[in-house]
Amino acid sequence: MIGNLNHVAIAVPDLAAATAKYRDQLGAAVSEPQELPEHGVTVVFVKMPNTKLELLHPLGENSPIAAFLEKNPSGGMHHMCFEVEDIRAAAQKLSEEGGRVLGDGEPKIGAHGMPVLFLHPKDFDGTLIELEEVKK
Report the alpha-carbon distance of residue 133 to residue 122 in Å, rounded: 22
Task: Indicate if 38 belongs to the active site.
Answer: no
Is 99 strand, coil or helix?
coil
Q: List Cα–Cα distances, 103 to 54, 56, 116, 124, in angstroms.
A: 21, 19, 11, 17
Looking at 54, 130, 132, 133, which residue is catalytic?
Answer: 130
Report the alpha-carbon distance of residue 130 to residue 108 in Å, rounded: 11
Is 46 strand, coil or helix?
strand
Q: List Cα–Cα distances, 97 to 90, 93, 100, 123, 128, in angstroms.
A: 11, 6, 9, 11, 17
Report, as residue numbers or ranges, the catalytic residues: 130
